[in-house]
Structure 1
Amino acid sequence: MRILQMGNIKKYIHVVMLLGKWILLGGLIGVVVGTTTAFLLETNDYLGKVREGNGWLIGLLPLGGIALGYMYMKFGTSMINNTLHDAAELNNLVIDAVHGTKTVLRRMGPIVYLGTFLTVVLGGSTGREGAAVQMGGSVAETVNRWFKLKADTKIMLMSGISAGFGAAFGTPITGAVFGMEMAALGKLKFEAVVPCLVASFAGHYVTENGWGVKHEHFTIQTLPDHSMLTFAKIILAAVIFGILSVSYCQLRHGIQRISERMFKKNHMKRAFVGGLIIVAFTLFAGSQDYNGRGLPMLEQSFKEDVPPYAFLAKLVFTAVTLGTGFVGGEAIPLFFMGATLGNALHAIMGLPLAFLAALGLIAVFCGGANTPIAAFLLAMELFNGKGMEYFFIACIVSYIVSGHHGLWPAQTMYEPKSRLYNVTNGEPIGRIEKRKK
């Protein structure tokens, strides 16, 4: 009896020590990532204002592409265990590391920061949260190496992702779930919930309260009345938003495949040509509304009408920017596309403008990221819980409509969205897309 009691005591001690370790390491990752994310957000905002005040900088984007390409080709690759680990794979490398097939390069964070700054100041169409997530992975890998936590590598990387997302958007609950949901569709590693939660909240707190960084806020003034017609409209709108997310992902990946094949994966040449195309598009548009994050028009879409083609212009600008080798986040561009499309649809569908813009923002992100739980929580945190039943439906519908497509081909499929395709457990969606073609 005493032996059994001693065995139970040892188990309890082991659990307490394990939780303590995860809390400590999750907090450490959150603090470091929160600090680096605060630097990222503040610097990006400053560089964005510099670009807006100096429109001529867009003309330097092709040269910036050469510099960025050189940086990734010179410093962004490493051969580990006879496998190429390329920082230019961005979030895909982080996802592969979570699955244990590759390793996040510790220098990936600084490289993507410099690349994002260069892209932003010269007018590439991109966001910034991608750099925060990759820095989170880089910091987590560094902590993992320092403390020799080989058995907990996946959990630490998820914590880094959570910290980066929670700090970048000021949404700690969403960040915690996003870190667990991003890598695989249909599977959540709940073992990581404690370090992911701690890392996300620590990153958010350090960014917002420690460094005083303020995040963007969007307001829904009016919600539609409950009725069968309203829910039917929500479903229809979510289908449209899901199709938009697929369109962006396919175009962005298509441009990447074509440019890599044409220039034999020479990042310098790819980005130079991509920069020339963006300059030409900017001159054709007659404004820089679709360069950078496009935050002014995104905010405008919640208050008044914006050009009905704005979502399409942003789709093309961002797909070319990222598809030709420039770097940055894709969440804010997806927010822009969804919100401006919702803005364009509100008069046709008879739903409140700000509400439909918010619905598009969430649904397009959900369809692209393939993270329905995180997307729903994001809606709750961004819009203070308003219209939760509508957002829940929109997330589910958009997730299903987007099919086996997404922003990151390295995402694995553990539960197929459709029985029309035979999906091997753990198969990357990039491979599924190729097979369907």
Structure 2
Amino acid sequence: MQKFRTSFHPFLVIIYLVKWTLWVLPVSLLTGSLVALFLWLLETVIEIRFHYNWLLYFLPLAGIVIHFLYRYSGKNAEAGNNLIIDEIHKPDTGVPLRMAPLVLFSTIITHLFGGSAGREGTAVQMGGSLSHFLGRHMHLSKENLRILLMTGIAGGFGAVFGTPVAGAIFALEVLVVGKLKYNALLPCLMASILSNIVCSAWGIHHTNYQISFVSQHLLSLGSFGFNLLLMAKAIGAGIAFGLAAYLFVRLSHAIKRYSNQLIKVKWLIPVTGGLIIIVLSFLISPDYLSLSVSNPDPGAVSIVTCFKDGGAKPFSWLWKILFTTITLGMGFKGGEVTPLFFIGAALGNTIAMITGAPVDLMAGLGFIAVFAGATNTPLACTIMGAELFGADNIVYYAIACFTAYYFSGHTGIYGAQKNQIPKMPGRA
């Protein structure tokens, strides 16, 4: 084992904290402000789309605009989150500043015309490109630049969802499966908290999800209690959540791969994807377009309704997988995480209706566990559950997230994520 000096100098720690506070402040101010602008624009365009349903018919045209925008202006920005992760692993060509306005504009266009996508990818890319730009101009070393890039990820994630602690852990956990870079923990936490404060200061409010279920504890675990029957249901649900994450990841990669192989004229890929989404919205339902966080139609399925009895249809989770993988796999922009929230909450609702488990608890478990499985970030997702829903049921959060993590396979939505340690001993 490598040995380190055991001497401790509080003054050096203070210098370290002051230095990183000064470096993180501009990243957080810019990231938090840009995320606030993005969330405001996103809410505005989604309201416009609800009011003018005919905008969906222009989704193929929006795809053409996004394609040529990235073709002539994007350069390596097309790689998105994977470019940022790659740059942290091995600094090379850098993260272009143009990534921020490109992904902001293209995500807004995707949602305005009904594409099923999320928002975390946009926030992370904006934070990453801004932090890299600032780091280069501050002439930071490669190691410090890596950490500053991680603070950009943390700031973007923490601000866009209002989960600062989960944002910090996500930035550490998403890079390498099985290994955390603890020397970046404090800078990431500072960036995530400050970015969230800045975003909130602009008047941005996040959706409030509530789990009112309180377990009738049969056994105690320290200050927490749990019910064995409900624990068994949480384990079974975690398996289902992991398999749903696996399906999402495999289908996303397959659609992207085969669409590029089969459609030789590249601008026709988003056109085809847009046409498929239009057809699916008529054959299945328009409920699965855009974010699907909420819907002015009281009979529509959304993340909010999934926390209520009968708030999802038996295959709502599957339809959202289909809509989202086609949207993102065929050239539109946005994140995967909010659709993963929907998929998990809808599947949790269905499982609760079958097993008799509390609907709001199962929806909440699915909300975080499918995300955990698809991104290989069970620690961040467990903490996210506590930040979003309260810590009373944290034992169940951990059970669902870690079970989903093991049952989601050895891949994830981020191709640049490295597998340092296999999920199971003896597996490469």
Q: Structure 1 length normalisation: TM-score?
A: 0.89
- Indicate yes or no: 2:259 matched with 1:259: yes
Q: Distance in 1 between matches of 2:383 and 2:110?
A: 30
Native 8 Å contact 1:224 1:351 kept in 2: no
Q: Distance in 2 between matches of 1:274 and 1:348?
A: 34
Q: Distance in 1 between matches of 2:10 and 2:231?
A: 49
Superimposed CA distance per residue, residues 302-324 of structure 1 (whole angstroms, 9 cap, x where no aligned partner): 12312111111100000000000
2:219 maps to what in 1? none
Two-structure CA RMSD over aligned residues (Å): 1.6
| Displacement after TM superposition at 1:269 (Å) | 2.1
2:303 maps to what in 1? 298
1:48 pairs with one of 46, 49, 58: 46
Q: Secondary structure of the residue that 2:85 maps to in structure 1?
A: helix
Superposed, which structure 2 residues align to 1:61-100 within 5 Å?
61-77=59-75, 86-100=76-90
In structure 2, what residue type is equivalent to 1:124? Answer: G
Native 8 Å contact 1:68 1:268 kept in 2: no
1:272 maps to what in 2? 271
Q: Distance in 2 between matches of 1:18 and 1:263?
A: 52
2:240 maps to what in 1? 240
In structure 2, what residue type is equivalent to 1:118? Answer: I
Native 8 Å contact 2:166 2:381 kept in 1: yes
1:318 pairs with one of 312, 324, 333: 324
Native 8 Å contact 1:23 1:194 kept in 2: no
Q: Secondary structure of the residue that 1:76 maps to in structure 2?
A: helix
In structure 1, what residue type is equivalent to 2:361? Answer: F
Q: Distance in 1 between matches of 2:134 and 2:91?
A: 19
Q: Secondary structure of the residue that 1:295 maps to in structure 2?
A: coil
Structure 1 alignment gaps of length 5 or more: 1-7, 78-85, 423-437
Superimposed CA distance per residue, residues 32-61 of structure 1 (whole angstroms, 9 cap, x where no aligned partner): 100000000000000000001101000000
Q: Secondary structure of the residue that 1:298 maps to in structure 2?
A: coil
In structure 2, what residue type is equivalent to 1:303? Answer: K
Q: Distance in 2 between matches of 1:94 and 1:179?
A: 11
Q: Distance in 1 between matches of 2:281 and 2:18?
A: 52
Superimposed CA distance per residue, residues 189-223 of structure 1 (whole angstroms, 9 cap, x where no aligned partner): 11111211111011000111x20100011111214
Native 8 Å contact 1:170 1:215 kept in 2: yes
Superposed, which structure 2 residues align to 1:412-427 within 5 Å?
412-419=418-425, 421-422=427-428
- Indicate yes or no: 2:115 matched with 1:109: no
| Displacement after TM superposition at 1:13 (Å) | 5.6
User: Where do 4+ consecutive residues of structure 1 move more than 4 Å?
Assistant: 11-15
Native 8 Å contact 1:70 1:267 kept in 2: no
Q: Secondary structure of the residue that 2:303 maps to in structure 1?
A: helix
Native 8 Å contact 2:136 2:145 kept in 1: no
Superimposed CA distance per residue, residues 165-211 of structure 1 (whole angstroms, 9 cap, x where no aligned partner): 01001111111111111111111111111211111011000111x20
- Indicate yes or no: 2:227 matched with 1:222: no
Task: Please say which of residues 98-107 and 175-184 is displaced more in the overlay.
Answer: 98-107
Q: Distance in 2 between matches of 1:117 and 1:230?
A: 41
Native 8 Å contact 1:47 1:120 kept in 2: yes
In structure 2, what residue type is equivalent to 1:108? Answer: M
Q: Secondary structure of the residue that 1:346 maps to in structure 2?
A: helix
| Displacement after TM superposition at 1:234 (Å) | 1.0
| Displacement after TM superposition at 1:93 (Å) | 0.9
1:407 pairs with one of 407, 410, 413: 413
Q: Distance in 1 between matches of 2:331 and 2:244?
A: 22
What is the number of residues matched between the two proteins? 403
Superposed, which structure 2 residues align to 1:346-425 within 5 Å?
346-419=352-425, 421-422=427-428
Q: Structure 2 length normalisation: TM-score?
A: 0.91
In structure 1, what residue type is equivalent to 2:78? Answer: A
- Indicate yes or no: 2:172 matched with 1:162: no
Q: Distance in 2 between matches of 1:195 and 1:263?
A: 44
| 387 and 13 in structure 1: CA distance in 2 versus 1, 3 angstrom threshold | closer
In structure 1, what residue type is equivalent to 2:391? Answer: G
Task: Please say which of residues 326-335 and 228-237 is displaced more in the overlay.
Answer: 228-237
Q: Distance in 1 between matches of 2:407 and 2:136?
A: 40
Q: Distance in 2 between matches of 1:348 and 1:277?
A: 32
Q: Secondary structure of the residue that 2:421 maps to in structure 1?
A: coil
Native 8 Å contact 1:234 1:394 kept in 2: yes
2:125 maps to what in 1? 134
In structure 1, what residue type is equivalent to 2:228? Answer: M
| 72 and 56 in structure 1: CA distance in 2 versus 1, 3 angstrom threshold | same
Native 8 Å contact 1:267 1:325 kept in 2: no
